[in-house]
Structure 1
Amino acid sequence: MTKTVEFYFDLGSPTTYLAHTQLAKICADTQSELIYIPMLLGGVFKATGNASPAVIPAKGRYMFQDLDRFAKRYGVQLRFNPHFPINTLILMRAATGIQLHQPQRFAEFVDCLFRALWVEGRNLNDPQTIAAVLTENGFDPEEVLALSNDESVKAKLKENTEAAIKRGVFGAPSMFIGDQLFFGQDRLDFVEEALRQD
């Protein structure tokens, strides 16, 4: 039976971006299925009493140095976004809408937004910048905005977030293999190990 990785993600997390750059290859190498599940990290933080490490200055400084180390190890670009923190409500609704209504373009959609945030350092708090990024990547901003305002899409993102909290998620990235939770992009070796076990 094919193993699956359920990847609970929010675009506004740099650690989630790093996990995103690696998980497809890990799943391909282990003949596993990768399932992206959009959630709202702000909702998870509120429900669990957690917060971004960046709100603690010493921890934030360390985290950004550590992320840079991992980016070099993975051979990927990472630039800390000068507009952080990003309010991802519209972005995550949009990702949920694309996943539901244009699944064939979902990977491309998530890629372009992760790249805009964590490679190009674009200000995705700004609706005009979001529209520009979408246009540059072949998406219709008005169509994407309509999806993000769709009541069924809003409900699905809320449902995903509530399900994540019920499963014990307290931050992003969070990955499940069966009932096992793996938190953080620095736990990908354990994810790969679990996928290789019989």
Structure 2
Amino acid sequence: MSRGAIDYYVWLNSDWAYLGADRLEAIAGRLDVRIVYKPVDLPDVYARTGGVLLPQRSPERQAYRITELKRWCAKLGIDVNPTPRYMCPNADQASRLVIAADEMGLDVASLYKAILRAQWVEERDVSCAQTLREILQAQRIDVAAVWARSQSADVEATYRRFTDEAVAAGVFGSPSYVYRGEVFWGQDRLDMLEEKIRSCV
């Protein structure tokens, strides 16, 4: 019997989301739980929840982020560049594309991971329309159809709704996983998320 769904609030600039993406999907597959992908405008979430964007953080906090990324990359066997050439550009269009693809029944998991990989591994600018179109093509997605859908007022409204929902749910960072009203923040809490799901029937 299905255990329900994980509401997955993700920023399309999140290095930590990239590190946790495959493990999240593995958990969902093992435990027969659905993932509801909800891209959010994290700067907006931060503005409402007291978060501080990376460039505005103290040098000590920025340095520790790099240290932790290196530790997790070594632990997981995943390589990312902590300071890519195009770091955390505007992710609004990338988010709208993921929402549009999901609404069209396409493989949203592969798409959002490809966008994250483009930034953190491939040194590409995911705010650039051409880059995003190339990613869609590589995913064998109808670029014109998904792009047109992503420009609709309905998709923009969904993006804003997901952002509002995140704040209402108690989310303040990315990635955040909400299961049965409980928030698990960060890919380092995936084991705890799995334990929670296993405890529910």
Task: Tell me if TM exceeds 0.5.
Answer: yes
1:40 maps to 2:41: yes
Give structure 1 stretches of 5+ with no counterpart: none
Q: Which residue is equivalent to 2:145?
A: 143
For residue 12 of structure 1, what is the aligned residue in structure 2? 13
Separation (CA, whole Å) in 2 of partners of 1:85 and 1:91: 12
**Secondary structure of 2:183's partner?**
strand
Deviation at 1:131, TM superposition (A): 2.4
Partner in structure 1 of residue 109 of structure 2: 107
Deviations 1:115-167 (A, max 9, x none): 21222121113222222333333234443332221111001111111111111
Q: Is the 8 A contact 2:119 2:125 kept in 1?
A: yes
Q: Which residue of the partner structure matches residue 192 of structure 1?
A: 194
Instruction: Please state if 1:160 is matched with 2:168.
Output: no
Counterpart residue number, 1:181? 183
The answer as to whether partners of 2:9 and 2:175 remain within 8 angstroms in 1 is: yes
Counterpart in the other structure of 1:27: 28
Deviates more, 1:126-135 or 1:66-75: 126-135
- Aligned to 1:104, what secondary structure does the other structure show? coil
1:68 is aligned to 70
Pick from 105, 127, 134: which aligns with 1:125? 127
Is 2:43–2:53's contact at 8 Å kept on the other side of the alignment? no
Q: Is the 8 A contact 2:94 2:127 kept in 1?
A: no
Alpha-carbon separation, structure 2, partners of 1:65 and 1:21: 22
Structure 1 window deviating more from structure 2 (110-119 vs 91-100): it is 110-119
| Amino acid in structure 1 at the alignment position of 2:98 | A
TM-score by length of 2: 0.88
Q: Distance in 1 between matches of 2:142 and 2:193?
A: 36
Q: Is the 8 A contact 2:93 2:127 kept in 1?
A: no
Asked whether the 8 Å contact 1:54–1:61 carries over to 2, the reply is no
CA contact (8 A) 1:99 1:106 kept: yes
State the superposition RMSD in angstroms.
Answer: 1.9
Amino acid of the structure 1 residue aligned with 2:78: V
Counterpart AA for 1:89: D
Q: CA deviation at 1:190?
A: 1.0
Aligned to 1:90: 93
Cα distance in 2 for partners of 1:5, 1:137 equals 24
How many residue pairs get matched? 197
- Answer yes or no: is the 8 Å Cα contact 2:16–2:175 preserved in 1: yes
Q: Aligned AA for 2:30?
A: D
> Which region of structure 1 is more displaced relative to structure 2, 63-72 or 132-141?
132-141
Deviations 1:30-83 (A, max 9, x none): 333222222221221122231234532221221122122112222223223221
Distance, in Å, in 2 between the alignment partners of 1:147 and 1:168 is 29
Give the Cα separation in 2 of the matches to 1:64 and 1:147. 37
CA displacement at 1:19 relative to structure 2: 1.8
Query: What is the alpha-carbon distance in structure 1 between the residues aligned to residue 144 and residue 56 of structure 2?
Result: 34
Give the aligned residue type for 2:155: V
